A and B are shown apart, each in its own frame.
Chain A
Amino acid sequence: MSDSVSFIIDGKKVSADSDETIWQVAKRLGTTIPHLCFNDKPGYRSDGNCRTCMVEIDGERTLAASCCRYPANNMVIHTQSERAKSARQIVMELLSTDLNQETLSGSEFDNLAQSMQLAPSRFPKNSPAPSDLSHQAISVRADACIHCSLCVRACREVQVNNVIGLADRGQHEKITFDFDDPMGESTCVACGECVQACPTHALLPATPNVNEVDKQVQSICPYCGVGCQVKLNIKDNKVSSVDGANGPANQGRLCVKGRYGYDYISSDQRLTEPLIRKKGMEKGINIDPANPYTHFRKASWEEALDVAASGFSASKKQHGSDSLAGFGSAKCSNEEAYIFQKLIRAGFGTNNVDHCTRLCHASSVTALLETIGSGAVTAPFMAVKDSDLIIVIGANPSENHPVAATFFKQATQLGAELIVMDPRALALKQQATHMLQFTPGTDVALLNAIMHVIVNEQLYKPDYIEQYTSGFEQLTAHLQNFSPEKMQSICGIDADTIKIVARKYATAKSAIIFWGMGISQHTHGTDNARCLISLALMCGHIGKPGTGLHPLRGQNNVQGASDAALVPMFYPDYKDINDPEAKAFFESLWDTSLNEQAGLTVIEIMHAIHNDTIKSMYVMGENPAMSDPNLNHARTALATLDHLVVQDIFLTETAMFADVVLPATAWLEKNGTVTNTNRQVQMGRKAVEPPGQAKPDWWITHQIAQRLGLNWPYKSPEDIYQEMQLAMPSLANISWQRLDKEHSVTYPCSAPDEAGQDIVFANGFPTEDGRGQFIPASFLPPNDPLDKEYDFILTTGRLLEHWHTGSMSRRSEQLNALEPEAFVQISHLDCAALNVKAGDLVCISSRRGSIQIKVRVDNKVQSGLVFIPFAYVEAAANLLTSHDLDPLAKIPEFKYSAVKITTI
């Protein structure tokens, strides 16, 4: 539909593409035809129901809705005829009759009515529809609803959350949530898309909306790895509201966190001045974060930085470079990740630097690097628009990558098949063609069985395998022991289903695999990822539109932080620490000598503290006192350190163990770039002033570096970025200026004026021989076995409303109100067997610790499995988890711990 048509509009002869509506043509020619139910934003289908955009077409009996009518050759269109204008006027009058002018005030409807000089309605009035104020974040004022269905399209077609409906009919028609339930009691996930779309203020943020703002700043959401672009409306140095911007990864959409989760920035618990621990105060989770002064005294920046730096120097002098370690953060910018690892390497003289990637996708990256030579995704998640088949395994994108999930759900609406494999029945179950709720920890058994079918039925792609891979013979031999018939009793999925799924994936024209931490957070996480890679390689589902391998990255900058080498075994851009050439390059670039010994990973560092080899640590924006497994062990380690410097925006659980606490700026208080799960480098911009004396992380790190005798020239994040471009070929052709102009550029990018490459590896891989490597994986049982006493499997993860350890989201009034307390999800059946009911307090213990927590009955978990989000300090799930590690990637097994449940 893109032939050109020529026609006459308002007396002008015009040509247009045949897929341009009359409304769009008129707008292009400078006439904005009134509109309400039409939203000129990506993803919104025009519906033509409000009839405020009617135009007259010669020879047609009735008027036409310009928003959904396409011009045809020789059509004669009048947008300003008396007949059309009169109809538009009466339509507005009809709509306004029963609406509450107060609610409408300031809305698009109000603006349109004013521009049309709408007089008070002459029609008989009805009593106004009642409001629904049951939701924490959104208020529903039906007395301004015009039934335009934009909220329905927002909820069902754009976000595909399917909560809003148009129930009943005719004059009784109304917007409903689920079964006409109060919004606050419905399945609404508060993405706010409907509020953003509503033209009448019938849907509004529950907090008073500020119509006038001081400024609007375009930046990136601070939460997950999707990397949604946001427009921040700033009033009085606060974020008053947030709109989705048209970024490549979100196309205007946001989730509840990205929409409503910004009030943590203005929390009264923000750190506003440097703190030094008072002498003799015990270290522990024993401080009210709103009042650190019980254990700390305030200090000047000079003093605090001096104490921080001299502690590091002392440690280095006394115990050597490897007695120091640093945790950076995937929540900071690329520049901050880079400068932090540079400090640890060039200043501390050690490679003991790591961050939370170790706890999330280390195994995925390890497997990807060894098999296809690149740790990043091979295709962005938007590639699903070209996929016939989508596999989502060990991931819960509707909660953890909500905006990415909208793309998956949209793809299914267009006919793509979705196969979900996860021990928990996720929200995506509704869209899934097949839902494989397999036994926790049996990923390798299931995936090998799938590959067994593909091999035995010869559904693989011999040409692709021949041309681009190696090791297929060894793999096929290995797979012979994994027949679906044999594996079905292990993984809990019947052989027939395994066969169907295998055939579907192998024979799909284009298939893509997404995975999350259900795959990676296992002692066999690397093996799990190897299986997925082998699966894609044998079917040739890499490098073409709609195909690929995509580990959904968690933090907003976990990709960037890893690229920038916030990891102990690589220099920036994954240059091996053991590679002498790489070492020489960075020694020259950084004008220093470097430690050739690869560093320790997150959990290894905790062990090393217990072993007395690490004595001093610098933690920037990480919260291991909540995020590490086996917290008793980790917290004891933190308490044991001689010198701990924590730099953060709150007195986190980790900061409670610090000797020096340095107040940092929040993401929205500084400039910097971040790289999302799609390899899109994006520009974050300062929107508000930081509180008190809080400083950007890069500035603080720079100050410490100076005190360690390093003379770095950086005056801004841009200066650091320019050095990164020298160190990292991946950033070629992506200048700071370009990012500032375009907001987002994907790497790799082959020219300054070309778009980056979304889908990579069409012709082989960046490995030594250019081939993708099949690496067989054997099935190993989980490390923390069930027994008679510990008879439940615990799995942990995030919640839609709460981010990670909760340090940000639990300080967001909006988010915390939606999920205010810790809970354990237990199935109906298990509740009955345990004789507990929803809301009861139970004690959950593992071989490492125990917590008390409320029961939430939830059939998403299968019998024998329980789920606890790890955001709640008062019932920290990680007191229970084990710190046993994947031997290669050093990632702990958060997804499988043996626990017992006892009633209280």
Chain B
Amino acid sequence: MAFFVLPLFSLQQQTSNLFMPHKSSPLVRLGSKKKRKGRLTQKGRQIDAGAQQDISELLADKPLRKELLIEYLHLIQDKWAHISSRHLMALADTLKLSQAEVYEVATFYHHFDVVKENEIAPPPLTIRVCNSLSCCMAGADDLINELVEQSPSSIRITAAPCMGLCDQAPAAAVGKNYLGKVTAASLLNTAKNKQTQAILPTYQGYEQYLDANGYQLLASLNNQTFSVDDVLKELEKSNLKGLGGAGFPTANKLRIVKAEPSPRYFCVNADEGEPGTFKDRHYLSTTPHQFLEGMLIAARLIEADKIYIYLRDEYAAINQLLHHEIQHLIDHKVIKDSYIDIRRGAGAYICGEESAMIESIEGKRGIPRQRPPYVAHQGLFGQPTLVQNVETLYWILSILRNGGEHFAKQGKNGASGLRSFSVSGRVNKPGVIVAPAGSHVRELIDLAGGMLEGHSFKAYLPGGASGGILPASLDNIPLDFGSLTEYGCFIGSHAIIILSDKDSIKTTSQNLLAFFRDESCGQCTPCRVGCEKASSLLSEQQWNKPLLKELCTTMADASICGLGQAAPNPILSAIKYFGEDV
């Protein structure tokens, strides 16, 4: 056995064939019967050094907090007009998120174009054409067809949900340039001239607002000439309700959040997405400071630690405007730097639902939470959170200036206060109409310049896509929270869409259900599957009304949030009031 006698502790290389199996030996694949190859890298997708460089440059001066994921996805989408998986991977690594976490968020929001390896990126410019109800009534479908035929390959044409320009239907966006009353020619011309950025509207600026006694109420609250209790009392007297659509008494909500332990957050819901609704856009783009002061007063009432304004991405001009005006507030020491964060939505109607909005602010998919717990108790980052709609905050100033009672008295037919009705459809002067709560639809049609010539009033949607459809015969209902319940409808965000004898209830219902189908977050069965099946059933020649009714009942009863619960409203209204049409 001399063969094996090796010097001890030898530094020489000693190898013997007997101790080193050959590659061809049966030992090499001990357990495997099939021949397999190992991986060449660690598991899964590898990080691309170039993409990592891109992302580190893009985020050079930015905080690397996970909750900012959506903001950073925007930066990538803005810069490269799509989000490649290389960049997405590098972003995940930078934010210490997993691939799954970034991918599910990036694909949830329609304003992000995720392009995987071996996929072709979309053209650098996209024209989005609104195909929600008011715009469809104004010929959006034809417009899309025309554009598809006429546009060069460097432009992508897509349909998109309501852009909040229903008073200027049909509406479309060339890049970030959102335009009303468009034609195929005007859009292609805009694209050709590379007018793809948002255009600032003219609005009441900071100085002008100061001249009109702006920010005095906030100051008097701060120097305690006006107390928090005084404000709450006035708001209580005013009977102001949440005008995002739920109608919860504002003073109550403020008191509930105020009683919770700090830190308390304040999220402003500026994700106005209910088809037919554009009042928040109106106030934000004309009198932003009245909204901002109302917001700061509310923040003061609950001693909010931070304010987040969740602004829908379609309001790109308002985004610029707000950044600009908030900077004024910082410069003039009205607020501290970084007290207010503006967060961009990314093309998801569901994020108008308050808990979905909160999820989105946390950098996640916008899926509604189960209630209870209510967001007032456990909202943003699990902390007590006040959520208010833009218009609600806008009214605070008027109420405090003129007294709560004065505001309350302006309602009629048993309702109280003023409301901003977004009126669109077959009227002469669509627009935001400020009218007493409790007004009737005919009054609103009159205020909107009456019916279009050649159109006779047939039906109306009292609360956008989700509030149901009422026949013209029911034109004497006071339009207010709660007053439409017995008719299977609701007022919601006060988006009144007027239909005429030229409009088909069947087509209208299909349009609305297609909207809900596309905008359902997908979380719960009744809404995810229900909207899709309902949409399919509505496209059938003959509606299966008993099955639709069963489906609608379950959707309304068992969906997690208002989207799924309200999606059946148009179907049930159509069957109830327009039986012959459907």
* A residues in contact (CB < 8 Å) with B: 48-52, 54, 62-63, 65, 68-70, 83, 86-87, 90-91, 94-95, 97-98, 122-124, 126, 146-147, 155-156, 162-173, 176-181, 185-189, 264, 267, 269, 282-286, 288-290, 429-431, 607, 610-611, 631-633, 635-636, 639-640, 806, 809-813, 815-817, 819-823, 825, 828, 838-839, 845, 847-852, 854-860, 873-874, 879
Contacts and interface: CB of A to CB of B under 8 A. Distances in A.
Contact of A820 (B13, B32, B45, B89): B32
B531 A170 contact: yes
A284 B558 contact: no
Given A90-B554, A813-B32, A179 B18 contact: no
Contact of B104 (A94, A166, A816): A166
A852 B100 CA distance: 36
Contacts of B21: 285, 873-874
B180 interface: no
Contacts of A264: 31
B528 A147 contact: yes
Contact of B536 (A52, A124, A166, A850): A124
A128 to B, nearest CB: 14
A202 to B, nearest CB: 15
A860 B42 CA distance: 9
- Dominant secondary structure at the B interface: loop
B465 to A, nearest CB: 15
6 contacts: A97-B529, A97-B533, A169-B107, A286-B18, A611-B8, A632-B14
Interface stretch (B247-255, B389-397, B515-523): B515-523
Interface stretch (B33-41, B69-77, B262-270): B33-41
B33 A50 contact: no
Given A170-B528, A171-B531, A176 B100 contact: yes
A189 B43 contact: yes
A164 B104 CA distance: 9
Given A171-B532, A179-B116, A289-B27, A817 B40 contact: no
B10 to A, nearest CB: 8
A91 B525 CA distance: 7
Nearest to A653: B27
B27 A859 contact: no
A850 B14 CA distance: 9
Contact of A848 (B13, B99, B553, B559): B13
Contacts of A54: 557-558
Given A123-B533, A169-B520, A640-B4, A163 B98 contact: yes
Contacts of B98: 162-163, 178, 187, 430
B38 A65 contact: no
A591 to B, nearest CB: 40
B60 interface: no
A821 B37 contact: yes
B551 interface: yes
Give the interface centre of B31, B42, B98, B116 by most chain A CB atoms within 10 Å.
Answer: B31
B100 A146 contact: no
B370 interface: yes
A850 B13 contact: yes
B99 to A, nearest CB: 4
Contact of A87 (B36, B365, B557): B557
B137 to A, nearest CB: 24
Contacts of A188: 43-44
Given A49-B560, A180-B116, A186-B44, 20 more contacts: A49-B525, A87-B558, A94-B530, A170-B528, A178-B44, A186-B43, A188-B43, A189-B43, A607-B8, A812-B31, A813-B31, A816-B31, A820-B32, A828-B49, A849-B14, A851-B20, A852-B23, A873-B21, A874-B23, A874-B25
Given A179-B103, A284-B19, A879-B20, A90 B40 contact: no
Given A170-B531, A607-B8, A817-B36, A850 B15 contact: yes
B370 A68 contact: yes
Contacts of A269: 30
B79 interface: no
Contact of B558 (A51, A180, A640, A854): A51
A820 B29 contact: yes
A283 B5 CA distance: 13
A284 B16 contact: yes
Contacts of A858: 41-42
A87 B6 contact: no
A811 B30 CA distance: 6
B85 interface: yes
A423 B202 CA distance: 59
Contacts of B551: 90, 94, 123
A48 B546 CA distance: 27
A393 B203 CA distance: 59
Interface residues of B, number: 92
Interface in B384-430: none
Give me the 4 closest cross-chain CB pairs, A-B, nearest first.
Answer: A284-B18, A173-B522, A162-B98, A165-B100
Nearest to B348: A169
Contacts of A636: 4-6, 14, 19
B578 interface: no
Nearest to A810: B30
B44 A874 contact: no
B198 interface: no
Contacts of B120: none
A179 B557 contact: no
Interface string B82-95: 00010011000000
Contacts of B88: 179
Contact of A91 (B6, B39, B101, B526): B526
Given A51-B526, A185-B44, A288 B26 contact: yes
Contacts of A68: 370
A465 B373 CA distance: 46
B526 A873 contact: no
Nearest to B516: A170
A304 B97 CA distance: 58
A147 B522 contact: yes
A94 B526 contact: yes
A162 B100 contact: yes
B1 interface: yes
A280 to B, nearest CB: 11
B379 to A, nearest CB: 17
B212 interface: no
A848 B31 contact: no
B31 A811 contact: yes
A639 B4 contact: yes
B108 A816 contact: no
A636 B6 CA distance: 8
A681 to B, nearest CB: 31
B99 A187 contact: yes
B521 A169 contact: yes
A848 B11 contact: yes
A285 B28 CA distance: 12
Give the interface centre of A164, A165, A611, A631 by most chain B CB atoms within 10 Å.
Answer: A165
B107 A167 contact: yes
A87 B1 CA distance: 82
Nearest to A47: B370
A829 to B, nearest CB: 10
A146 to B, nearest CB: 7
A187 B43 contact: yes
B85 A179 contact: yes
Contacts of A854: 38, 40
Contacts of A640: 1, 4-5
A858 B44 CA distance: 11
B41 A857 contact: yes
Nearest to A635: B19
A410 to B, nearest CB: 15
Contacts of B540: 124
B96 A430 contact: yes
A616 to B, nearest CB: 16
B101 A165 contact: yes
Given A94-B525, A640-B1, A168 B107 contact: yes
B15 A63 contact: no
